[in-house]
Amino acid sequence: MDWVAVEREEGQSPGDFEPRIVALLCNWCSYTGADLAGTSRIQYPPNIRVIRVMCSGSVDPMYILKAILEGADGVLIGGCHAGDCHYINGNYKARRRVAIARRVLDQLGLDGRRVWFRFISASEGRLFAETVREMVAQLKEIGPNPMRDRWEL
């Protein structure tokens, strides 16, 4: 939180800060939902970089930690809705792992709220766009990932 304070002192309002978000989306639901946002031309902030994985259950917590350590302001993991997983239950595994990763981040003083898990189906283009919008807004509140500047130190 100190770092946010520093930036504020330097005259940077939180509104100027554009958070960087890495997303890991499952091929069958969330990635397709993100595509649908595109085909429906639903506009959302361009702060997100999507990595397509076959299943949210294949998201290693290491990916999340790596992203945060590399300076990502947020990480979004998207999977199919409860019961819809193309691979039976990968989405549940992912949800559990994300919960753990958040706790680990909190322990490291890196604010677990930076990591989101969402069920987004292939037909929920609008939900995907709204999720990105909300996440960007919340991350602007939280402020930049302090890791970015710590590396520079």
Partner 1 sequence: MPESRNGMSTVGAVLVVGAGISGMQSALDLAEAGFRVHLVDEAWAIGGTMAQLDKTFPTNDCAMCILSPKLVEAGRHLNIQLHPGTVLERLEGEPGRFRAILRRKARYVDVDKCTACGDCLAPCPVELPNPFDGNLGVRKAIYKLYPQAIPNAFAIEKRGVSPCRKACPAGVNAHAYVALLRSGRIKEAWQVIMRTLPFPSVCGRVCTHPCEEECFRGQVDRPVAIRDLKRAIADWMAEHPDQMELEPCQERLKGRVAVVGAGPAGLTAAYQLARRGVSVTVFEALPVLGGMMRVGIPAFRLPREVLDREIRFILSLGIEVRLNSALGRDFTLDELFEDGYQSIIVATGAHVSQRAGLPGEELEGVFHGVDFLRSVNLGRSPRLGGRVAVIGGGNTALDAARTALRLGAESVCVYYRRSRAEMPASDEEVEQARAEGVQFSFLCSPVALVGRNGRVTQLRLVRNRLAEPDASGRRRPVPVEGSEYHVDVDAVILAIGQRPSSEALRQAGLAVDGRGLVVSGPDGRTSREGVYAGGDVTTGPATVVEAVAAGNRVAAAVAAVLRGEVGEQGMGGPNEERRVAPFPADVVPVPRERARPRELPPGVRRTNFDEVVGGLSLEEAVAEAERCLNCGGCSECLQCVPACRPAAIDHHQEDQLEEIEVGAVILSAGFELFDARLKGEYGFGRYPNVITSMQFERMLSASGPWEGHVRRPSDGRPPRRIAFIQCVGSRDLRGGYRHCSGVCCMYTAKEAIIAKEHVPGLEVTVFCMDVRAYGKEFERYYQRAQEEYGVRYVRSMVASVKEIPDSRNLLLRYSTEDGQLREEEFDLVVLAVGIRPSSAGVETARRLGVQTDEDGLLRTRELEPGLTSRPGVFVAGALAGPKDIPETVTEASAVAALAAAQLAEARGQLAREPRYPPERSVEGEPPRVGVFVCHCGINIAGTVDVEAVVEHARGLPDVVWAEDLLFTCSQDSIALIKERVGEHQLNRVVVASCTPRTHEPLFQNTIREAGLNPHLFEMTNIREQSSWVHRELPERATDKACDLVSMAVAKARLLRPVPARHFEVDPRALVIGGGLAGMTASLCLAAQGFEVYLVERERELGGMARRVKYTVGGDDPSGLVDRLIGEVLGNPRIRVYLNHQVEETAGYVGNYVTVLRGGDDSRRTEIRHGAVIIATGAREATTDQYLYGRHPRVVTQLELEEMLASGKLAGCRVVMIQCVGSRTPQRPYCSRICCAEAVKNAVRIRERYPASSVVIFYRDIRTYGLLEEHYRRARERGVLFIRYDPEQPPEVRPDGDQLLVCGRDPATGWSLEMEADLLVLSPGVEPQDGTIQLSRLFKLPLTEDGFFAEAHMKLRPVDFAADGVYLCGLAHGPKLMQESITQARAAAMRAAVLLGKGRLEARGIVAYVRERACSGCGLCVKSCPYDARQIDPESKKARVTEVLCQGCGACVVACPNGASQQAGFSKEQILAMVEAALR
**Which residues sit at the interface with partner 1, rule CB under 8 A?**
20, 22, 24, 27-28, 31-32, 34-46, 49-55, 57-63, 66-67, 70-72, 84, 86-90, 93, 97, 129
If DSSP codes are grouped into helix, strand and coil, which group holds residue 88?
A: coil
22/115 with CB nearer partner 1: 22
Closest CA relative to residue 138, chosen from 14, 34, 25: 14
Q: With respect to partner 1, which residue has the nearer C-beta, 5 or 151?
A: 151
* Strand partners for 62: none
Residue 104 beta carbon to partner 1: minimum distance, rounded to whole angstroms? 15
CB of 80 to partner 1, least distance (A): 9
As measured in angstroms, the least distance from the Cβ of 114 to partner 1 is 13
CA distance 66 to 79: 20
With 0-12 / 13-18 / 19 or more C-beta atoms within 10 angstroms meaning exposed / middle / buried, residue 48 is buried
**Sign of the alpha-carbon torsion through 106, 110, 114, 117:** negative
- DSSP lists the bridge partners of residue 24 as 51, 77
**44 vs 116, beta carbon nearer partner 1:** 44
Whose Cβ is closer to partner 1: residue 5's or residue 88's? 88
- Work out how close the CB of 119 gets to partner 1 at its nearest, in angstroms, rounded to a whole number: 14
